[in-house]
Amino acid sequence: MESGRISYVSLRAALVAQDVGVSLQVGVPVETGPLRKVTDRMAAVLCEAAGLLPETLLCRGVETREATPMQLERPADCVSFSGGVADYVYHPASDWFRHGDIGLLLADSIRRSALFTARRMIPVRETIRATVVGAGAYTTTVSGSTIDCVREDLLPLKNLPVLVPGKETEEAAGLGQGEVLARETRWFLQESGADNVVFCLKRFRAPDYRQACALADALAEAAGPLPPGAPLLVLTEQDYAKALGQALRRRVKDRPVVCIDSVRAEEGDYLDLGRPLMDGLVLPEVVKTLIFGE
């Protein structure tokens, strides 16, 4: 929230708001009362997931896609909290929007719910107040002379989420089949709210020209869900970014391409790309592995 106006509404929050009859629209002012109805319903959904309330359709509707449903063999005896709003569950605050989101209201709703009152509460030693990117481990590295980046004016770029295709998806991409990767990209953008992704390829060690062209075909198709004009960003763990980048630029005419290699990243990481050094021969990167996140 910014100045009492809504700046972002996640898909899951929109579902909860719809369930309680609250309209949340970006740019529209909102009062505490309607937001509390939303956070109270969120807390109730947590109670449903924990077996403290009868499960409703919303409980499954807000699950992370492809998540394994939580099934308890018996009711939990104790409850503890960690993560973004945990500190405020244990230690209530009154300045509800001090962090620009609904985290403190949600913490208060949880505190007043059956999660807090119907089970023995166990305080934890370590909580974190940040409800956005907080603590993390950082690795700085430099990609070598096989990078492919023509538009140096694009850089630096920061906080780029890494998308690691699944094994079958990447193998299909190696055959030039990008439709599954395109679906993963669309889902990733939708779920994360990100404007772009870094495609991280792990399973090809030394692709020949034919396979590099097949990968380029698949990546060009996977770039379809990206915003118009957004750069196509590719990271390979092995040393073939130059060949792959050149193949991509022959296929992708409507967006710039940045292809770098010899950098290791994992799902959930974020990447910072610095300005090229040594007349464009090397490119500094920072891989940020989040310990606590949103």
Tell me phi and psi for residue 33, to 5 degrees: -55, -55
State the DSSP H helix or E strand holding residue 256, giving kind and residue range, or none if neither: none
**Residue 290 in tokens:** 């989040």
Q: What is the pTM of this model?
A: 0.53
What is the predicted pLDDT for the residue at 133? Answer: 43
Strands (E), 60-193: 78-79, 120-121, 136-143, 148-149, 157-163
How does strand 157-163 pair with strand 269-273?
A: antiparallel
Above 70 in pLDDT, residue 223?
Answer: yes
pLDDT in tens, 25-77: 888 888 899 999 999 999 999 998 888 889 899 988 887 765 666 677 777 78
What is the predicted pLDDT for the residue at 217? Answer: 94
Say if CB 140 and CB 286 are below 8 A apart: yes
What is the predicted pLDDT for the residue at 125? Answer: 63
Above 90 in pLDDT, residue 181?
Answer: yes
